[in-house]
Structure 1
Amino acid sequence: MICDPGANVQKFLIAVLTIVSVVLSATLGVVLQETQVSTIEIDRDRAALAAQISATQTESEKYGPGLLKSLIEVRLAIARNTLAMLDQKRVSYIRRIALDYRLDGRPVHGASDQELNMIIEEISQAEKKAAASKLEAARYSGGLVQAMSLLKAETDELSVSQLRLKFYSAKHGIPMPLPNLRENSNKLAQPPGKVVKDRDAL
């Protein structure tokens, strides 16, 4: 039996091309799928934050310089910083850069669903409180009482913004070190110095 060398080479080339195309297709699929899955949630969160920033900017433009406008600007700064944080995370996924966050020497990972649900509940309670404060402020047409009510409502809105920052940080595994309030309260409870008798004070 005579073997045709050209046919064997052709079969070999077809087999090699098939294997290469399968490997390339699988690699491309993994790369595209991983990026899409990684960024889809971030894109949703970024869109929500962009809408929030736009609404806050519109609200800020209603007021002249003063304490109320300053509080709104703080809320706006928190939202912008949160958006910048998500932009950084998104770019790291697209460029395939591993961001390894560490807090107190330990790696930081995304929060569990249970932890996120707890933060969502906190946000819901804070939003209800802010809405109630806004309704209270709307009862007045001006004067000191309305100004104080508006300040309270804006302070409550500021709490909502801080909780949203906490949520997005926890969701995407970005560390947000916060001061230990228990340590501070213990320090404040202690006397500021050594207690001495009057005659020893000089």
Structure 2
Amino acid sequence: MTTTYDPTHPRYDNEGDMRDELLRVYDLCHGCRLCFNLCPSFPSLFEAIDAHDGDVEALSVAEQDKVVDECYQCKLCYVKCPYVPPHEWELDFPRLMLRNTAVRRKHDGLRAKLTDQALGRTDLVGTLSTMVAPLANAVTQTPGSLPRRVMEKVTGIAAERMLPPYARQRFSTWFKKRVTPTLTRRQGSVTVFPTCLVEYQNP
């Protein structure tokens, strides 16, 4: 087992090492439970271990990976954890989740990589889709259709899943075209951070 979170370390992407480290950390977290209310990862972890009578070694790979998939890298657990470096146990839950994801992606097939690209590059997909919104919507708004079944085979996105339609105009474009009202005196300023859903689908 290698406790490393350095992607340049020669054992970083060794799956056996990563799995051993995952079980070690899961066992420590199960004993502590300080992070029980921080994100979905921890309740899933504790329920899975409890279902195996507290035996972390009995966790299946799917159960281990479910915990990883539910981590959204808020890093609140790192702030709250009493066992982070320089503690001798060197626990770094967020970086271990990243290590697991990196190891899994390295061994993934083309389909999983395409799914990650399709779901992870929202700005690229959103920009292209709003440029051809009627065509994109014709494909995405017909669950179970031939194009959606092909899309499922390529990307892994379920053909039956209802997807949000794309707008013809992005929020940022719409916002720039708005007429700025003339004010008699300066007022406070506002910063707008549109989400990808607002930017591309519901401006």
TM-score normalised by structure 1 residue count: 0.24
Higher helix share: 1
Which has the higher Rg, Structure 1 or Structure 2? Answer: 1
TM-score normalised by structure 2 residue count: 0.24
